[in-house]
């Protein structure tokens, strides 16, 4: 196939537009720093907590409506083993925004945290927060793997959150108009059957609506909760709420972004439905179909290239590039925030200067991008990568964040027990996508093709078990120390309640009265004044 010169020109213009926006935003960030006494690290990571509602809605939506969203959604609808029934990403993203706006945004923003790891680090210390930060970095690398593109690294390096937020406006606009422009041409192509007839009938493959039986019901619920509540375990979400100009703005941003996700998801659903209704033998792609060739993860660009005119496919590919960049830059900034703030500054180099932290952020952005690039050769399913990354945040980060924010009784001992139990159960449950066998068989576990497959909602079980273990262990250990059943010298997390020292004061009638030291000091000062 020869070089598509018009397509190349369009892509270069598009990249220059986004890069120019990112550079302009980085200059805005630099001017803000020069004209104020604001902390440079906070400007880079949170935009000096001055992101307006309009920009916030764009960047919040674009963070989740990324490459993994539009490509994975199309893949899910097209795949005969899944279908629309399993394409839950719009609903889960919207639910994430609503739950986050109701329960997390106000609390986190009012306490002025820099990252979502701050409450964990403040309450549990550096060891536990360090381990959890590494888990969060792994989930961000998996996100980058599913959405990688190199240009995002450049402007994220230059301007931090300002560059990410303002380029998100350009990218989300391009995604919306480009994909909706492609939809009429996709629907009217001569190689596909009417999607209303193929929705419930077998034509070229299984109906694209999909199905849900009793055996797969619990797995569907598990995936739905992973992709919804698991999003709240990502730094990407909290970075948007923490950067808002106020706690009210943070909450409203979440509520406005929720319905926008559905609108932006419709084109991907329609393209996936058309791809499932296409006789690929009649197209330039030929037989066998993309699914039979193991290329279901590439179905969106394949459909655009083979089912639309060349000039339309160019615009569609530009939309994919915009989506990829909008989520990649967020993951890069998220990883650099966690490492620079919670690991490097608070653990490795507590006296690091602002200039040093800026270089740490830049190096982390590059290394995260390289790590994500290396993993792209191992897995070509965006949907699988998304579920794996969300699985880490759902079973590890989400329970820890819930406990530290909403259960005052929780302490470091409980956090360790909850973390160990959650990881232990998750590892024994198995993960077919990475070849991890199931050792612990939950009810409904079946043998398929020589491998045990869990039908129970194992990740939800792990998440709930982690929360239960954290709260219960925190309470029990606290009681053991406070009742004197364990020596105080073992209390490394200082959970024992320190009672105020009491003194015995002799009264004139030889009786005794118990008085707090503070009261005694007051009495002594009064006596001095009287004398």
Tell me the per-residue pLDDT of 236-262, one tens digit each, with 9 for 90 and over: 899 999 999 899 999 999 999 999 999
d(CA 3, CA 85): 39
pLDDT at 380 over 60: no
Helix (H) or strand (E) holding 441: none
Give dist(CA 231, CA 247) in Å, integer.
Answer: 20
pLDDT above 80 for 481 = yes
- Are 87 and 269 in contact by the 8 Å Cβ rule? The answer is yes
- What is the reported pLDDT for 313? 84
Average pLDDT, the chain: 83
Cβ-contact 505, 515 below 8 angstroms: yes
pLDDT at 344 over 70: yes
Over 80: is that where the pLDDT of 328 sits?
no
% residues pLDDT > 90 (the chain): 46
521 pLDDT more than 50? no
| Pairing label, strands 512-515, 451-453 | unpaired
Q: Which of 384-398, 414-428, 467-481 has the lowest mean pLDDT?
A: 384-398
Distance CA 239, CA 237 (A): 5
Residue 99: Cβ within 10 Å count: 17
Residue 145: both structure tokens together: 């793997």
CA distance 105 to 242: 8
**CA distance linking residue 320 with residue 141, whole number of Å:** 20
Helix/strand number for the chain, H first, E second: 21, 4
- Please state, in angstroms and rounded to a whole number, the distance separating the CA atoms of residues 105 and 98: 10
The span from the CA of 170 to the CA of 174, in Å, is 6
Residues 113-135 have a mean pLDDT of 93
In 3D space, the residue among 310, 328, 281 whose CA is nearest the CA of residue 63 turns out to be 328
The model's pTM:
0.83
């Amino acid at each position: 196939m020869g070089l598509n010169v018009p397509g190349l020109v369009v892509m270069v213009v598009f990249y220059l537009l986004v890069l120019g926006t990112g550079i302009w935003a980085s200059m805005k960030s630099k001017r803000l720093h020069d004209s104020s006494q604001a902390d440079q690290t906070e400007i880079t990571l949170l935009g000096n907590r001055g992101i307006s509602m309009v920009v916030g809605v764009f960047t919040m939506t674009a963070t989740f409506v990324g490459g993994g969203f539009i490509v994975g959604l199309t893949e899910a609808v097209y795949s005969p083993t899944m279908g629309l029934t399993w394409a839950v990403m719009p609903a889960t993203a919207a639910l994430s925004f609503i739950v986050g706006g109701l329960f997390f945004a106000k609390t986190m923003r009012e306490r002025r945290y820099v990252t979502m790891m701050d409450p964990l680090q403040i309450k549990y210390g550096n060891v536990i927060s360090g381990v959890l930060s590494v888990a969060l970095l792994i989930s961000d690398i998996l996100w980058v793997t599913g959405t990688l593109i190199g240009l995002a690294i450049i402007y994220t390096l230059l301007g931090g959150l300002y560059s990410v937020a303002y380029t998100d406006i350009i990218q989300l606009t391009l995604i919306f108009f480009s994909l909706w422009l492609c939809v009429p041409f996709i629907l009217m192509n001569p190689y596909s059957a009417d999607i209303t007839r193929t929705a419930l009938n077998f034509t070229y493959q299984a109906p694209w609506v999909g199905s849900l039986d009793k055996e797969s019901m619990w797995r569907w619920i598990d995936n739905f909760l992973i992709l919804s509540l698991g999003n709240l375990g990502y730094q990407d979400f909290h970075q948007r709420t923490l950067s808002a100009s106020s706690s009210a703005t943070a909450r409203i941003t979440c509520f406005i972004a929720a319905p926008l996700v559905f609108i932006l998801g419709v084109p991907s659903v329609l393209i996936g439905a058309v791809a499932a209704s296409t006789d690929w033998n009649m197209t330039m792609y030929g037989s066998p179909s993309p699914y039979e060739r193991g290329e279901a993860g590439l179905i969106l660009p394949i459909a655009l290239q083979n089912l639309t005119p060349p000039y339309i496919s160019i615009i569609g590919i530009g939309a994919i590039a915009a989506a990829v960049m909008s989520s990649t830059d967020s993951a890069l900034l998220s990883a650099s925030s966690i490492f620079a703030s919670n690991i490097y500054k608070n653990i490795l180099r507590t006296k690091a200067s602002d200039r040093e932290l800026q270089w740490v952020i830049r190096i982390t952005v590059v290394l995260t991008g390289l790590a994500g690039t290396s993993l792209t050769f191992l897995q070509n399913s965006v949907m699988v990568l998304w579920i794996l990354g969300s699985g880490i945040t759902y079973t590890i980060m989400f329970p820890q964040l819930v406990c530290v924010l909403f259960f005052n009784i929780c302490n470091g001992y409980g956090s360790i027990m909850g973390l160990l139990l959650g990881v232990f159960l998750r590892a024994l449950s198995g993960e077919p996508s990475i070849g991890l066998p199931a050792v612990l068989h939950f009810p409904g576990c079946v043998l398929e093709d020589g491998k045990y497959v869990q039908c129970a909602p194992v990740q939800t079980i792990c998440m709930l078990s982690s929360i239960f273990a954290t709260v219960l262990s925190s309470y029990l250990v606290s009681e053991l120390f406070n009742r004197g059943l364990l020596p105080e010298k073992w209390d490394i997390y200082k959970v024992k309640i320190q009672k105020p020292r009491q003194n015995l004061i002799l009264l004139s009638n030889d009786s005794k009265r118990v008085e707090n030291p503070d009261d005694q000091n007051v009495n002594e000062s009064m006596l001095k004044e009287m004398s």
